[in-house]
């Protein structure tokens, strides 16, 4: 397909005399030929790129021509020739101020040094390349989406550098390099909200003491996880230092378990082997299609968005193997009562509390578990101004009356959630707050109210892709069907307001979900943190309406009694497990961010 489009483009460029277009065509076509093994044709196309770019004095295209020829010879294992061309690219890119060209050139030289076995030189070139990466990144200013995409495109050199640092016995610096790509865009959002400088950069002076932030968290161990190619890297942070590092050959372990998957394939899960087999009403949006049941009478249990069909569940996660890959190698070093876990990419989807050892014991039984996107974000939360977050006020939302709406191109009737409404009433009574229910729970009212409260609780339907939440439409036109903008609470909506909440509880299906990026899980939970929330309590999959009401009732019993959010969640989940509830009904809940507490006065009202 790429070859066909390239040839059509070639004909257009040739007919119109577009020399710049021709140069770009030759470069792209060279990549196509190299990919299919036609090395001689690839070399010819790359040389044509260089000739034309020199003729028309298109210097950046000339840089690409040199780089392409350098990569060509690298693939041929002719490293001296490769370096000649890449250094030409580096010299020219420096001369014309092409920062991206410098980044690619320095990185390519680093790979040559790796092949030559000159590891220290490779590390030096990687660091110089990442310095240029930082310059490019700073040019993106405040564009969050560009930063997320940028990290995805340029992350490989940082992962390779981290791998090299681990191989030469310097895991602490490898940890810092991992931080350079871990939730960086989120850290920028948080820095802006808190008016703090986000100091992490390629400058090694900014790395000092970053792991020390964990020492401020009382009685906890931090497990920092990264995975790349066939390896998993595990760091244990205690008492302000890296106390232990371990590298796991993931492919070997998976193979010994009788599976044929590679590590990346194994972690490419969309769902979990802990979901109930029976269909149930849940709090998720994605299954509301025209053929879905929409009336409460047609379903034997209510859930927080439609029916979680077997087709939508996707591949199952093997939780015992996840335990063996991530927890078992360092289990003896995990000291509690709390573990802070810093996951990498798809690992955000793991219900760590439900991981089981060889005896079938859940990790929940030994530890409270909290997730943080990065050490940098934890540091920013810890250093946020003392007067930033509200100490009083709560917004409680339950069972918004969504009704008939347009959802993802479908005319859809969203069912009611009776247990979500009851849950909101119970929470409101415990906190001394009148909840927004039914038609009162409009998108406009919720957005307005959430700006100035210490605690936000929403029990509603959530979307399976990014956790976005269905509220009552802000207004209805007679005989009209509301579009998404009138009722769906999106990441963009949250990003436009400044939150001062200490805790946001999203008692909705999939509220922890998001697109898996180098940045992490990009969804509604991240949006709340980026807009100033100190912590979020969210769910990884579809929630059964009745059991979620039960769990939240116990959670708030402990929270109002003065326990922290982490302690309250832990106790509620343990109660569920010991009172006959299935793991699928308590395991999806995760706390991300700080372990906040509240000062409740009379009748539980936050003061």
Task: Specify burial of residue 261 (Cβ count, 10 A radius: 0-12, 13-18, 19+).
Answer: middle
User: What is residue 31's predicted lDDT score, i.e. its pLDDT?
Assistant: 77
Note whether 521 and 349 are within 8 A (CB).
yes
Cβ-Cβ contacts under 8 Å for 331 (sequence gap 6 or more) = 357
User: What is residue 142's predicted lDDT score, i.e. its pLDDT?
Assistant: 86
Average the pLDDT over 45-69 and give the result: 85
User: What is residue 200's predicted lDDT score, i.e. its pLDDT?
Assistant: 73
The model's confidence at residue 333, banded by pLDDT at 50, 70 and 90, is very high
User: What is residue 47's predicted lDDT score, i.e. its pLDDT?
Assistant: 80
CA torsion 288-289-295-301 (nearest 10°) is: -50
Alpha-carbon distances of 363 from 266, 336, 569, rounded to whole Å? 21, 11, 14
Lowest mean pLDDT among 6-20, 58-72, 120-134, 313-327: 6-20
What is the model's pTM?
Answer: 0.89
Question: By three-state DSSP, how is residue 268 classified?
Answer: coil
Among 569, 372, 405, 600, smallest CA distance to 485 is for 405
Residue 301 has pLDDT above 90, yes or no: no
Lowest mean pLDDT among 77-86, 180-189, 285-294: 285-294
User: What is residue 260's predicted lDDT score, i.e. its pLDDT?
Assistant: 87
Question: By three-state DSSP, how is residue 587 classified?
Answer: coil
Q: What is the mean pLDDT of the chain?
A: 86
Report DSSP state, residue 295.
S
DSSP string covering 510-573, please? Answer: TTT--EEETTEEESHHHHHHHTT-SEEEEESS--BHHHHHHHHHHHHHHHHTT--HHHHHHHHH
Which residues are paired to 245 by β-bridges? 235
Among 576, 533, 289, smallest CA distance to 411 is for 289
User: What is residue 208's predicted lDDT score, i.e. its pLDDT?
Assistant: 67
Residue 331 has pLDDT above 80, yes or no: yes
Sign of CA dihedral 81, 83, 86, 92: negative
Q: pLDDT tens across 448-468, in order?
A: 999 999 999 999 999 988 889
User: What is residue 154's predicted lDDT score, i.e. its pLDDT?
Assistant: 87
The model's confidence at residue 219, banded by pLDDT at 50, 70 and 90, is confident
> Which secondary structure element, helix H or strand E, spans residue 226, and what is its range?
strand 220-228
User: What is residue 3's predicted lDDT score, i.e. its pLDDT?
Assistant: 55
The model's confidence at residue 284, banded by pLDDT at 50, 70 and 90, is low
Residue 309 has pLDDT above 50, yes or no: no
Percent with pLDDT over 70 in the chain? 86
Question: By three-state DSSP, how is residue 284 classified?
Answer: strand
Torsions phi, psi for 232 (to 5 deg): -115, 135
| Omega within 30 of 0 (cis) for the link into 219 | no
Sign of CA dihedral 185, 188, 192, 193: positive
User: What is residue 292's predicted lDDT score, i.e. its pLDDT?
Assistant: 39
Q: CA angle, 181 as apex, 179 and 183 as ends, to 5°?
A: 85
Residue 531 has pLDDT above 50, yes or no: yes
Q: Which structure tokens are listed for 151?
A: 């990290």
Q: pLDDT tens across 397-426, in order?
A: 999 999 999 998 889 898 899 999 999 999
Q: Which structure tokens are listed for 289?
A: 């299609």
Cβ-Cβ contacts under 8 Å for 101 (sequence gap 6 or more) = 60, 63, 64, 67, 89, 90, 92, 93
Tokens 């998404």 appear where? 484
Q: pLDDT tens across 533-559, in order?
A: 999 999 999 888 899 999 999 999 999
Among 108, 118, 120, smallest CA distance to 75 is for 108
User: What is residue 6's predicted lDDT score, i.e. its pLDDT?
Assistant: 57
Residue 605 has pLDDT above 70, yes or no: no
The model's confidence at residue 508, banded by pLDDT at 50, 70 and 90, is very high
Task: Specify burial of residue 259 (Cβ count, 10 A radius: 0-12, 13-18, 19+).
Answer: middle
Lowest mean pLDDT among 149-153, 362-366, 422-426, 470-474: 149-153
Lowest mean pLDDT among 29-33, 155-159, 384-388, 559-563: 29-33
Residue 295 has pLDDT above 50, yes or no: no
Average the pLDDT over 527-532 and give the result: 97
Cβ-Cβ contacts under 8 Å for 205 (sequence gap 6 or more) = none
CA–CA dist 61, 69 (Å, integer)? 12
> Which secondary structure element, helix H or strand E, spans residue 506, and what is its range?
strand 503-507
CA–CA dist 71, 38 (Å, integer)? 14
Residue 302 has pLDDT above 70, yes or no: no
User: What is residue 10's predicted lDDT score, i.e. its pLDDT?
Assistant: 58
User: What is residue 545's predicted lDDT score, i.e. its pLDDT?
Assistant: 86
User: What is residue 289's predicted lDDT score, i.e. its pLDDT?
Assistant: 45
Lowest mean pLDDT among 171-175, 272-276, 357-361, 526-530: 272-276
């Amino acid at each position: 397909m790429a070859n066909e489009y390239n040839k059509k483009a070639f004909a257009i460029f040739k007919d119109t005399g577009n020399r710049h277009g021709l140069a770009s065509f030759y470069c792209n076509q060279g990549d196509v030929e190299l990919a299919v093994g036609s090395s001689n044709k690839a070399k010819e196309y790359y040389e044509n790129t260089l000739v034309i770019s020199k003729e028309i004095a298109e210097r950046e295209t000339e840089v690409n021509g040199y780089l392409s020829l350098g990569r060509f010879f690298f693939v041929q294992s002719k490293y001296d020739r490769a370096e000649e061309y890449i250094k030409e690219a580096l010299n020219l890119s420096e001369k014309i101020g092409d920062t991206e060209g410098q980044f690619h050139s320095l990185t390519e030289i680093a790979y040559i040094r790796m092949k030559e076995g000159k590891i220290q030189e490779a590390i030096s070139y990687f660091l110089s390349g990442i310095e240029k990466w930082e310059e490019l990144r700073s040019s993106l200013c405040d564009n969050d989406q560009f930063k997320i995409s940028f990290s995805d495109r340029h992350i490989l050199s940082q992962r390779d550098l981290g791998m090299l640092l681990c191989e030469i016995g310097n895991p602490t610096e490898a940890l810092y390099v991992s931080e350079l790509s871990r939730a960086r865009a989120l850290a920028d959002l948080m820095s802006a909200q808190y008016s703090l400088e986000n100091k992490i950069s390629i400058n090694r002076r900014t790395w000092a003491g970053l792991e020390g932030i964990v020492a401020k968290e009382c009685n906890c161990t931090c497990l920092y996880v990264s995975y790349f190619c066939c390896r998993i890297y595990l760091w244990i942070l205690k008492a302000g230092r890296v106390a232990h590092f371990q590298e796991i050959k993931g492919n070997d372990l998976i193979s010994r378990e009788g599976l044929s998957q590679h590590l990346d394939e194994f972690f490419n899960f969309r769902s979990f082997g802990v979901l109930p087999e029976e269909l149930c009403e849940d709090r998720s949006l994605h299954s509301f299609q025209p053929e879905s049941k929409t009336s409460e009478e047609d379903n034997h249990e209510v859930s927080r968005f439609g029916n979680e069909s077997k087709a939508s569940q996707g591949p199952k996660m093997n939780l015992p193997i996840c335990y063996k890959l991530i927890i078992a190698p360092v289990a003896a070093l995990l000291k509690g009562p709390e573990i802070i876990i810093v996951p990498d990419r798809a690992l955000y989807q793991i219900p760590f509390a439900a991981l089981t050892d060889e005896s079938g014991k859940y990790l929940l039984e030994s530890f409270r578990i909290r997730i943080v996107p990065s050490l940098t974000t934890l540091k920013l939360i810890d250093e946020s101004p003392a007067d930033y977050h509200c100490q009083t006020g709560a917004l409680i939302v339950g069972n918004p009356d969504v009704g008939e709406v347009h959802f993802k191109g479908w005319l859809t009737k969203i069912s009611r959630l009776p247990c979500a409404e009851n849950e909101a009433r119970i929470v409101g009574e415990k906190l001394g707050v009148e909840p927004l229910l039914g038609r009162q729970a409009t998108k406009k009212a919720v957005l307005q109210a959430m700006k100035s409260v210490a605690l936000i609780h929403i029990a509603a339907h959530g979307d399976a892709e990014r956790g976005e939440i269905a509220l009552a439409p802000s207004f209805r036109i007679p005989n009209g069907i509301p579009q998404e903008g009138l009722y769906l609470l999106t990441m963009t909506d949250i990003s436009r307001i400044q939150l001062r909440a200490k805790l946001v509880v999203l008692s909705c299906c999939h509220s922890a979900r998001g697109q898996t990026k180098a940045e992490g899980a990009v969804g509604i939970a991240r949006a709340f943190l980026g807009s100033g929330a100190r912590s979020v309590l969210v769910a990884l999959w579809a929630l059964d309406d009745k059991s979620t009401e039960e769990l939240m009732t116990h959670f708030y019993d402990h929270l109002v009694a003065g326990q922290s959010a982490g302690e309250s969640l832990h106790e509620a989940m343990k109660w569920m497990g010991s009172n006959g509830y299935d793991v699928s009904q308590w395991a999806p809940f995760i706390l991300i961010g700080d372990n906040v507490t509240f000062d409740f006065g009379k009748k539980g009202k936050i003061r």
